[in-house]
Amino acid sequence: MSDNRRLINWTAILSVLALVSHAIDAPDHLSEWWGYGTFFVIVASFQFFYGLALFLRPWRFDEDGSLSPDAERHGRPYFILGTVLTASVIVVYILTRTTGIPFLGPDAVAESVTPLSLLPPIECLPLMYCHILLLVRTRAASANRPRPAEEND
């Protein structure tokens, strides 16, 4: 198994683990306000489908359904999306624990930090690390790929 494939699989596993922590916490937030609960359900759903996409790696295939010779560089948009959204989860966590987010619900105040509430951001940190590694590795793969003759002119 190649190093990138192993790293992609770890990223997928970490994404699914983050899904579990958001799914566990969703009912508590749903009881506070439907908007909070909906946010947790949306984040958990994204993490599930994102993890599934990483396991399946649809970017490996070309239009004919055969394996693409330069598949590494086609995964970059997935890794960029995952990086941005994982960073967003971390930022939202920091906001909700410091100032609160008044535009998301009635009487929003800063939430307290609990062991359960620390689980999602703790899981997101290695997930971010994996995304950044994937972006660095695929950038190197994209930079080293041979260019077609028509692009050299």
Which residue, among 21, 44, 20, has the nearest Cα to 117 in the 3D structure? Answer: 21
What is the torsional sign of CA 27, 28, 34, 36?
negative
Q: What is the pLDDT of residues 109-142, one digit of tens each?
A: 778 888 878 888 888 999 999 999 999 988 866 6
Which residues share a beta bridge with 67? 61
The answer on pLDDT for 107 being more than 70 is: no
Q: What is the pLDDT of residues 19-68, one digit of tens each?
A: 888 888 888 888 877 887 888 889 889 999 999 999 999 888 887 888 87
Cα separation, 143 vs 85, in Å, equals 25
Cα separation, 101 vs 55, in Å, equals 34
Q: Tally Cβ neighbours within 10 Å of residue 135.
A: 16
